[in-house]
A and B are shown apart, each in its own frame.
Chain A
């Protein structure tokens, strides 16, 4: 049988997930140097593309969102199609994709939060940080969530960049937020926020904190919030000091320097206080009679070195209580298994080798199925880290094609795939639809001096398109 990849019979690839990795993979496929002619159909369960660049990256970080310009260039290729509002496993099954594509690539990211695993975690007022993030970014599924911003004290568990985003958004003034593309419903709720103190809680020390330097530096410049750091918590312990002396890692040295700088600052009596704590872990959330969180019990940690010299926290016997009425956990993401796709429970990713999906029994590659991005390697790195990751998977895909190891779909025509999608999801969104929605969002923002005003309901988007 002739091998697909020619103008007469292009290699047809379905990409599940229109986040950064989906675009990087599409780009690598469409621009491949082997001269293989590829057609890419990208599916997303949301009507809009860009994944976490739209729904995750903070609204006051527009520069990071600028990466979408390069995504639009990829989408402008005539061999690229987008089908928004189409959910894998529900609207389209694995069987459907196998019948229409030579290769299937999963780039669904890490869609859930890790739990803290402590008593009281599910009390009212305790939320995964990702739900708050999705809410303020206008993700349609989270549009109607309610966060009790009448509370005066909030704690964010974790010191990654997501944790910092949440703390920063809680500490921004309405004026600062109004200049961003934060969802309108969130802007209104945050205008009335009574939150005065926000705690960021790290289980290890300053040298091990996952946030990056621009993020930790940024909180020092908030318009109406003081940053408070305890000097004794950012003094390096002997183990961290020794590790840093050996590695001389500049980013870490700078991070510690910035934090020690905060410890020297005198609070300026601003309206809000962002308190960054280290070497503490929540062990329990306590609630009132109504089941609302009212406090958090923290244990102080000390660090110990593992066999490789990595520093990990260990609980001491010192405890302290922290009264808080709002808790956001941000202790890591985890992938969600897709229906019919082998999953590696240990790492929370699709079972794979360099992006080739593996059969859990034989440990051999499943013909025609691949993965890239966070659902392949776990949540790590910046947006751009997904580019080399996607390139590795695409290299495997093209190698397998060269070996003739691809699916042999019964309906390998672009028209057949589109007909099926439109039959299953009559309201699906094309890239042209998205570009129109984008234009409308941007023009809604212009009079207010905002980058855009987002549509946050699917019905709203359909209406805006006159459908």
Chain B
């Protein structure tokens, strides 16, 4: 399975913010959409960073004036991005190893979605459950055939 399969059931909305917007605005977006990170985009769809809860907490711990700062100053740059046909297993491995909680997915330079660690866990759980169910069915049919 590739990560396009995860994006397929997430509609086609990705929560984004522009680098010049303020942290106050970003917090409102995080709260409204009930998500843990926003993808920072320039020119509409080119991702330039990720702004996560963790980035905001880190900044808040050292900066009283956090709310007025711009997203561009607080976000994480040099973000690893995924491609739609990257396979689930490898992506799961990379996100675990590198402690990445939100992976922007980019196709031909355009942001097409975001995959979270929660999405990966759910996809893997469903995959294992499905395989188990199918194996059980076959096993039981063997038993009956005997």
Which of A's residues lie within 8 Å of B, judged by CB?
A: 63-64, 66-67, 69-70, 208, 243, 246-247, 249, 306-312, 344, 346-347, 349, 351-355, 358, 363, 376-378, 380-389, 392
Contact = CB atoms under 8 A, between A and B. Distances in A.
Given A377-B5, A388-B126, A308 B133 contact: no
A385 B127 CA distance: 6
A308 B130 contact: no
Interface string B85-105: 111011101110100000100
Nearest to B139: A63
A351 B85 contact: no
B90 A384 contact: no
A63 B142 CA distance: 8
Contacts of A247: 89-90, 93
Contacts of B81: 307-308
Given A308-B103, A388-B126, A66 B90 contact: no
9 contacts: A308-B90, A308-B91, A346-B107, A346-B112, A352-B11, A376-B8, A378-B4, A382-B130, A388-B125
Contacts of B84: 346-347
Contact of B9 (A66, A355, A384, A386): A355
Nearest to A356: B11
B21 interface: no
A333 to B, nearest CB: 12
Contacts of B107: 346
Contacts of A381: 1, 126-127, 130-131
Contact of B8 (A63, A70, A243, A347): A347
Contacts of B8: 344, 347, 349, 352, 376-378
A351 B86 contact: no
Nearest to A345: B12
Interface residues of B, number: 44
B32 to A, nearest CB: 14
Given A347-B8, A354-B9, A384-B132, 16 more contacts: A67-B138, A246-B97, A306-B83, A309-B93, A346-B84, A346-B107, A347-B4, A351-B11, A355-B9, A363-B13, A377-B8, A380-B2, A382-B134, A384-B131, A385-B130, A392-B9
Interface of B: 1-2, 4-5, 7-13, 80-87, 89-91, 93-95, 97, 103, 107, 112, 125-127, 129-135, 137-138, 140-142
A382 B1 CA distance: 11
A454 B10 CA distance: 40
**Which residue of B5, B81, B85, B112 has the most chain A CB atoms within 10 A of its CB atom?**
B5
Contacts of B85: 310, 312
Contact of A353 (B10, B89, B131, B132): B10
Nearest to B8: A347
A358 B79 CA distance: 30
Majority secondary structure, A binding face: mixed
Given A307-B81, A347-B8, A382 B125 contact: no
B89 A389 contact: no
A363 B94 contact: no
Given A307-B80, A351-B12, A382-B131, A243 B90 contact: yes
Given A353-B9, A388-B126, A310 B83 contact: yes
A252 to B, nearest CB: 8
A357 to B, nearest CB: 10
A384 B134 CA distance: 5
B133 A387 contact: yes
A392 B4 CA distance: 18
Contacts of B134: 64, 67, 382-385
A381 B88 CA distance: 12
Contacts of B87: 208, 310
The 8 closest A-B pairs by CB, nearest first: A385-B130, A66-B141, A384-B133, A384-B134, A310-B86, A384-B130, A353-B11, A347-B8
B76 to A, nearest CB: 15
A63 B103 CA distance: 39
B118 to A, nearest CB: 13
A63 B133 CA distance: 13
Given A384-B133, A384-B134, A378 B5 contact: yes
B140 to A, nearest CB: 8
B83 A388 contact: no
B45 to A, nearest CB: 13
Contacts of B140: 66
Contacts of A249: 89
A69 B141 CA distance: 9
Contacts of A63: 138, 141-142
A388 B129 contact: yes
Nearest to A312: B85
Given A308-B83, A346-B112, A376 B130 contact: no
B89 A388 contact: no
Nearest to A61: B138
Contacts of A377: 5, 8-9
Contacts of A346: 7, 12, 84, 107, 112
B1 A384 contact: no
Contact of A67 (B1, B2, B97, B137): B137
B143 to A, nearest CB: 10
